[in-house]
Structure formats: structure tokens, C-alpha cells
């Protein structure tokens, strides 16, 4: 199964991916997580990406497409779920073309829908583990011990691009460059719109309802 999970920053893509991948044996590929790993490792790619990421702009398509193609090559037979990619129509076209060269296609697109107000509340309250990438929220999804990761006890951080100012830029970027990706997929694929403003367990149920049907087809 090859799935794309769309949605504004903060819609809950990473949270849902982590909950559903094990059920189907899929690999979770988050372009944002891969970029942050490259930055932490101090690679050329990471250095090229940092100014764009810090300002809330998109990293250029050629860099991202190459990075994600390399990641997709390493995925298991069962497939993958893409989180944060594609983020422009050009990236979506390039992805389709590269899959088609291997006789493959995207089987389903899930679109997590939330209002701008919810995005701001979720991102300004998001706390992330710098070690394992686990994601929490100061009110909605708290860690068991205050400010510490449940998995490894590391001190949680507030990503600098989750500040109010950068979040506004990221929302603008999303509206201008990423929302058209939903329409692109609506032309060629089945897109499942999901109300992602509900609590995380309810959203997981909605996501699984759709994916279970696809798997049993
Ligand atoms: P994305 O990957 O789309 O940027 P995340 O999964 O990181 O979004 O979620 C953004 C923030 O919102 C995190 O702090 C997360 O804990 C919280 N969150 C995720 N889903 C929900 C939900 N359904 N209800 C409330 N808070 C949520
Ligand atoms: P995310 O963790 O998905 O919110 O991504 C963090 C930042 O990484 C974004 O604000 C962009 O600067 C960059 N980024 C992640 N994915 C992409 C992508 N598919 N295309 C361009 N830039 C991306």
C-alpha cells in the first residue's frame, strides 16, 4: 500500500502515522523528520535546507524530490505512508512519474482537515523529543512526566519553527503551495477527507476506517 497523508502543518499527520504504520507493516516517511535528521548530522543537504525551514518557506523541489526518492527506494514490500511530502504540485507530479517508472502508483490519499485556529493552537503547544522524534502537546497529549519524553526520558523541546510568527508563514506557504496538491490528487486518485479537529483517538478511528476498507479490497 502506498499512501499520502496530506494536511496543514499541525493537522496531526505525524501523530496519526506513528499510530497506524504498525497495523499494516508500512514505513512512515516524514520529509520534515528526514530534513531535521540531516541538519542534526550537519550534512550538505541539511545546511542547504536550514534557512528555508527556519523561516517557514519550502525547501526547493529538486532537493526534496531527490531526498524522498532515495528514502522510498529503501521501503519494504508492504509499502509506505508519506507525511509532509508532496507539498507542491510539482513534487506530486515528480512522485507519480517516478513511481510509474516502477509500475507503481499512490493507492490512497488521506487529507486531514483543520482550521487555522486549530493549527496555531496545536503548533504553539507542540513539544517534541529531540532524541526519538515523539510528539506531545502541552494540553492535548501530555507526556507522563512533565516535559520529559515517555520513551527515553529526554527533555522535550519547542521547535523554533513552531513559534507564532513562523507558524503564520507556514500557514501562508501551505495555502499558496500545498493546498493545490489536494486538487491535483482529486483528479487522479481517491482522496479521503477527514475531520482532524476531533481528538486524536477519534481521528485515528476515522483514518483506520478508510484504510481497513482499502486493505481488504
Ligand atoms: P503534523 O505532523 O501534521 O505537523 P503533529 O502530529 O506533530 O502534526 O501534531 C501537531 C500537534 O498537535 C502536536 O503537539 C500533537 O501532539 C497535537 N495533536 C495531534 N493530533 C491532535 C488531535 N487530534 N487533537 C489535539 N491535538 C493533536
Ligand atoms: P514539517 O516537519 O513537515 O512541518 O516540515 C518542517 C519544514 O521542513 C517545512 O516548514 C519546510 O521548510 C521543510 N519541508 C518539509 N517537507 C517539505 C517538502 N515536501 N517540500 C519542501 N519543504 C519541506
- Per the structure, the complete domain to which residue 204 belongs is given by 2-114+175-216
Look at residue 45 and tell me if it is in a domain: yes
Which is the catalytic residue, given 2, 13, 122, 127? 13
100 falls within a domain: yes
- Indicate whether 169 belongs to any domain: no
- CB of 141 closer than 6 angstroms to any ligand 1 atom: yes
* Structure confidence at residue 214 (pLDDT): 81
Return the CATH number at 77.
Answer: 3.40.50.300
**For the chain, what is the mean pLDDT?**
96
The span from the CA of 2 to the CA of 98, in Å, is 13
Domain assignment present for residue 107? The answer is yes
121 C-alpha vs ligand 1 centroid, how far in Å?
Answer: 10
User: Is residue 144 flagged as an active site residue?
Assistant: no
Q: Is 175 a catalytic residue?
A: no
With respect to residue 170, please indicate whether it lies within any of the assigned structural domains: no
* Residue whose CA lies nearest to ligand 1 atom number 14: 126
Total domains in the chain come to 1
In a domain, 81, yes or no: yes
Q: pTM, whole model, 2 decimals?
A: 0.97
**Has residue 210 been placed in a domain?**
yes
Whole-number Å distance between alpha carbons of 7 and 12 = 8
Q: Is residue 139 part of a domain?
A: no
Ligand 1 pocket, residue 32 CB under 6 Å: no
Which segments in the chain show pLDDT lower than 70? 216-217
Q: Identify the active-site residue in 18, 19, 159, 198.
A: 159
Q: What distance in angstroms lies between residue 72's CA and the mean position of ligand 1's atoms?
A: 24
| Any ligand 2 atom below 6 A from CB of 80 | no
| pLDDT for 50 | 97
Query: What cell was used for 79?
Result: 509499502
User: CA-to-CA distance for 121 and 140, rounded, in angstroms?
Assistant: 10
Amino acid at each position: 500500500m502506498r499512501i499520502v497523508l496530506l494536511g496543514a502543518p499541525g493537522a496531526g499527520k505525524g501523530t496519526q502515522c506513528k499510530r497506524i504504520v504498525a497495523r499494516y507493516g508500512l514505513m512512515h516517511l516524514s520529509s520534515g523528520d528526514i530534513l531535521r535528521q540531516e541538519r542534526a548530522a550537519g550534512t550538505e543537504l541539511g545546511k542547504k535546507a536550514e534557512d528555508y525551514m527556519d523561516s517557514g518557506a519550502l525547501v526547493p523541489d529538486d532537493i526534496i524530490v531527490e531526498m524522498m526518492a532515495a528514502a522510498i527506494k529503501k521501503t519494504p514490500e508492504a509499502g509506505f505512508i508519506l507525511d509532509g511530502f508532496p507539498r507542491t504540485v510539482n513534487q506530486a507530479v515528480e512522485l507519480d512519474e517516478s513511481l510509474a517508472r516502477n509500475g507503481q502508483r499512490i493507492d490512497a490519499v488521506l487529507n486531514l482537515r483543520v482550521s487555522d485556529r486549530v493549527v496555531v493552537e496545536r503548533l504553539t503547544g507542540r513539544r517534541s523529543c529531540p532524541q526519538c522524534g515523539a510528539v506531545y502537546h502541552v494540553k492535548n497529549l501530555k507526556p507522563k512526566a512533565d516535559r520529559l519524553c515517555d520513551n527515553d526520558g529526554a527533555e522535550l523541546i519547542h521547535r523554533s519553527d513552531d513559534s507564532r510568527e513562523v507558524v503564520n508563514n507556514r500557514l501562508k506557504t501551505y495555502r499558496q503551495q500545498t493546498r493545490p496538491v489536494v486538487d491535483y490528487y482529486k483528479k487522479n486518485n481517491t482522496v479521503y477527507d477527514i475531520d482532524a479537529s476531533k481528538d486524536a483517538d477519534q481521528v485515528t478511528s476515522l483514518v483506520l476506517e478508510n484504510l481497513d476498507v482499502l486493505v481488504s479490497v
